[in-house]
């Protein structure tokens, strides 16, 4: 990876089509598309966008070569602090064979056994992999430590790599607490929370049958909020349940997965401030039914797309792949999917400075080797991201 810093203002010119995500710009659609566009960057910020012919004079210029530029992807949901992988479990699942030894516990054991340096190197590796595919903001979680020391360690390591860090001590009840889940909830809301809060911005809980029920999830999220951590929820992934409505009630930034929704759940998301974050890599990798993005969008909910990158149920760091799945199988238009992978992710992290290319936004851009953002879905599996700028620096 090379990093290039250029002094003064830089114009990225000869952009065939520019996604700004500002409906007041360009063609008036939600993605604010501008044809024959330019972007001017000063330091880490965008200072001007518009038609190339009207661009102000700058110190430097980069020719986009008649290709498309989009905001850097905002991946608002991943689990990158782990060791080992689960190849055999995936292979068995895709081969129709039972596999009883798998699951989150496999990764918990490998993660606990890993050194700090090994975990940090893994996080760096997957962040670099995502960056090459256009992801300029990445949230990531703990959740494979499940002891006070191992959860705090995971968050301390995550914090060395990204500001968007989530405490997920409530991923599953670990085997050593299987006989007394209440004691584990007390730990997650007590000593573990105290050790983890300094490193995290968010608190999350896997609200699902076999993980944490609605009452436990409420106790965990409320305890986190009292320590200054804002809620987000793994909700309604494997079955119907209370997660989505609890998320909206507690003003969680996001309810993630949203695969099994009642009409009341959809209504709550449409009328609340909680973003519905859909993670199609998980359904792809488990051969499960897709979440219905069309239903949420038609109801008026804000939808984000994210990878859920983790070694068990969605081992992809590719936002373009998620966009392609969302368009092909979840009823999203290409415009909607690109918006959800950029501005939607920013909304799921309650960020105003990313996910859009407008004056004042952080200069996070992806240049596609294609004339249009539609190619992200039209040409699935093709590595179209050819250059990436983050905070004004060319990083890929």
The residues that touch Zn ion, with contacts defined as CB under 5 A, are: 308
Give the nearest distance from C-beta 306 to Zn ion in angstroms: 9
Q: What radius of gyration, in Å, describes the C-alpha atoms of the chain?
A: 21
**Minimum CB–partner distance for residue 328 and Zn ion (Å):** 22
Q: Of the two residues 164 and 364, which places its CB atom closer to Zn ion in the complex?
A: 164
Least Å distance, CB 309 to Zn ion, is: 9
- Residue 376 has, within 13 A of its CA and on its CB side, a CA count of 35
Q: Cα–Cα distance between 207 and 247 in angstroms, integer?
A: 10
Q: Which residues, listed in sequence order, are joined to residue 75 by a DSSP beta bridge? A: 138
Closer CB to Zn ion, 71 or 143, in the complex:
143
- Which helix or strand (DSSP H or E) is residue 13 part of? strand 9-19
Indicate left, alpha or beta for 80 from its phi (over 0: left) and psi (-120 to 50: alpha): alpha
Distance CA 388, CA 319 (A): 14
* Nearer Cβ to Zn ion (256/265): 256
What six digits make up the tokens of 299? 């109801």
| Cβ at position 60, least distance to Zn ion in Å | 41
Q: How far is the CB of 77 from Zn ion (least distance, A)?
A: 6
Q: Which is nearer to Zn ion, 143 or 334 (CB)?
A: 143
Mapping DSSP onto H, E and C, the string for 226-293 reads HCCCEEEEEECCCCCCCHHHHHHHCCCCEEEECCCCCHHHHHHHHHCCCEEEECHHHHHHHCCCCCCH
Q: What span, in angstroms and rounded, lies between the C-alpha atoms of 366 and 363?
A: 10
The length of the chain, given as a count of residues? 396
| Axis crossing angle, helix 148-159 with helix 116-132, rounded to the nearest 10 | 40
> In terms of CB distance, is 308 or 336 closer to Zn ion?
308
Yes or no: say if 346 and 74 are a contact pair by the CB < 8 Å rule: yes
Q: How far is the CB of 171 from Zn ion (least distance, A)?
A: 8
Quick one: 243 or 392, whose CB is closer to Zn ion? Answer: 243
Q: Which is nearer to Zn ion, 306 or 342 (CB)?
A: 306
Would the CA dihedral through 205, 208, 211, 214 be positive or negative? positive
Min. distance of Cβ 155 from Zn ion in angstroms?
A: 15
Q: Which is nearer to Zn ion, 50 or 311 (CB)?
A: 311
Q: In what order do the strands lie in the sheet with 385-390?
A: 45-51, 33-42, 9-19, 60-71, 365-368, 385-390, 393-394
Closest CB to Zn ion: residue number: 308
Nearer to Zn ion, 134 or 281 (CB): 281
Minimum Å distance from CB 234 to Zn ion? 5
Closer CB to Zn ion, 151 or 308, in the complex? 308
> By three-state DSSP, how is residue 80 classified?
coil
Least distance CB 6 / Zn ion (angstroms): 37
Beta bridge partners of 254: 275
Smallest distance, Zn ion to C-beta of residue 50, A: 39
Asked if 280 contacts 313 with a C-beta cutoff of 8 angstroms, the reply is no
């Amino acid at each position: 990876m090379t990093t290039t810093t250029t002094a003064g203002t830089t114009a990225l010119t000869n952009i065939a089509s520019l996604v700004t995500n500002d409906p007041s710009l360009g063609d008036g659609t939600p993605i604010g598309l501008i044809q024959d566009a330019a972007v001017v960057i000063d330091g880490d910020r965008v200072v001007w966008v518009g038609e190339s012919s009207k661009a102000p004079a700058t110190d430097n210029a980069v020719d986009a070569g008649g290709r498309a530029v989009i905001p850097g992807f905002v991946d608002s949901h991943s689990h990158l602090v782990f060791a080992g992988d689960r190849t055999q479990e995936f292979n068995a699942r895709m081969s129709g064979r039972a596999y009883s030894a798998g699951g989150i516990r496999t990764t918990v054991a490998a993660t606990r056994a890993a050194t700090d340096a090994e975990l940090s190197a893994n996080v760096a590796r997957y962040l670099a992999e995502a960056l090459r595919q256009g992801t300029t903001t990445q949230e990531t979680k703990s959740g494979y430590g499940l002891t006070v020391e191992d959860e705090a360690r995971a968050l301390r390591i995550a914090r060395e790599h990204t500001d968007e860090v989530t405490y997920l001590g409530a991923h599953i009840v670990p085997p050593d607490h299987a006989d007394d889940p209440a004691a584990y909830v007390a730990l997650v809301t007590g000593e573990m929370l105290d050790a983890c809060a300094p490193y995290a911005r968010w608190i999350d809980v896997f609200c699902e049958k076999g993980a944490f029920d609605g009452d436990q999830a409420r106790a965990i999220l409320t305890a986190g909020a009292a320590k200054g951590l804002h809620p987000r929820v793994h909700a309604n992934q494997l079955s119907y349940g209370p997660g989505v409505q609890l998320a909206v009630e507690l003003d969680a930034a996001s309810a993630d997965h949203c695969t099994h929704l009642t009409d009341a759940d959809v209504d709550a998301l449409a009328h609340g401030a909680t973003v519905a974050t859909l993670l199609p890599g998980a359904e792809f990798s488990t051969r499960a039914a897709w979440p219905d993005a069309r239903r949420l969008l038609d109801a008026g909910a804000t939808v984000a797309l994210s990878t859920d990158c983790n070694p068990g149920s969605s081992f992809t760091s590719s936002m373009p792949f998620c966009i392609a799945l969302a368009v092909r199988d979840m009823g999203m238009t290409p415009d909607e999917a690109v918006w959800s992978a950029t501005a939607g992710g920013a909304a799921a992290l309650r960020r105003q400075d990313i996910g859009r290319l407008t004056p004042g936004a952080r200069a996070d851009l992806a240049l596609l080797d294609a004339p249009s953002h539609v190619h992200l879905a039209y040409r699935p599996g093709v590595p179209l991201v050819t250059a990436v700028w983050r905070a004004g620096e060319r990083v890929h």
